[in-house]
Amino acid sequence: MRISKRLKTLAEQVQPGRVVVDVGTDHAYLPIYLILKGISPRVIGVEINPGPLRSAQQQVEVVGLTHQIEIRFGDGLGGIQPGEAQVAVVAGMGGNTICDLLEASPKVLARLHRLILQPMGAMRRVREWLWQHGWQIVHEDLVKEDQIFYSIIIAEPSRQEKEKGAADRYKSSTSGEKFSEVELEIGPLLLRAQHPLLSEYLHGQIAHKEKITAQLQQSHDPAAVAKLKEYTGQIKELKGLVFSLERKQKLE
């Protein structure tokens, strides 16, 4: 079965033999792939939208995997019981939505061994939420597909005490190192690993923010002026990250 590069990268982060819940399963492509490749013995696909729900059920029936894949109507992790799955995949949703879904099901979350997240924005908030709720980010990846970049965050329960207080919210749960807002938005582990796509991704982020600053410069509204100052600082930091990254690459 052929699936998108994004979904394949998500599937590669599932440990073999684990039961998976795929939140927002859409057409059930990921559950079907996980079963056909022998990665998971059982997958639960959760979908809240009636159209994709019916489509997912039909796809599973067509490939004859109803004994290993169960498609359920539900909202987030509320579609399963605590302990039913060890790995949760939550992909293709806004970062704020992902945080809300995780926070809404603490009992289910407490029994999970791994989170595989692919936010469509608000990456900084997702990383902060994970650290503040006792989850350690163990891996990050970048995927480029159809000219779009996708950030993937892998987290596991942290053995260390949860972070407390605003002063510590940028602390890494693994090293005690503190990160800026820009570094948290891009991904500390991506920066540390010097991901092959990172330079191109950073250039794209700079171009995007420069377009926004060009628009903000046309306004004299105090809120726009404050936002312009914020974005100008972020662009400067991003350019510094690019310079440092490309300099290291030239020296290697």
| DSSP strands (E only) in the chain | 20-23, 43-47, 69-73, 87-93, 114-119, 135-145, 148-157
Looking at residue 160, its pLDDT comes to 57
Helix (H) / strand (E) element for 106: namely helix 106-110
Which of 197, 70, 182, 198 lies closest to 123, judged by CA?
182
pLDDT at position 169, please? 38
CA distances from 6 to 10, 30, 37, 92, 242 (A): 6, 10, 16, 10, 24
pLDDT score recorded for residue 175: 46
Distance, CA of 96 to CA of 188 (rounded, Å): 19
The per-residue pLDDT for 252 is: 66
Distance between CA atoms of 245 and 91, rounded to whole angstroms?
28
Structure tokens at 30: 């990921």
From CA 137, how far away is CA 40, in angstroms rounded?
Answer: 22
**What's the length of the chain?**
252
Residues 6+ apart with CB under 8 A from 196: none
Half-sphere exposure of 47 (CA within 13 A, CB side): 20
Nearest to 10 by CA among 105, 92, 72, 109: 92
- Crossing angle for the helix pair 123-132 and 95-103, nearest 10 degrees? 20
Measured CA to CA, the distance from residue 248 to residue 252 in angstroms comes to 6
- Secondary structure letter of residue 178 according to DSSP: B
CA 204 from centre of chain: 18
> What is d(CA 98, CA 80) in angstroms, rounded to the nearest whole number?
16
pLDDT in tens, 203-217: 999 999 999 999 999
Question: With a cut of 50, which residues of the chain have pLDDT below it?
Answer: 161-176
Question: Residue 176: left if φ>0, alpha if ψ -120 to 50, beta else—which one?
Answer: left
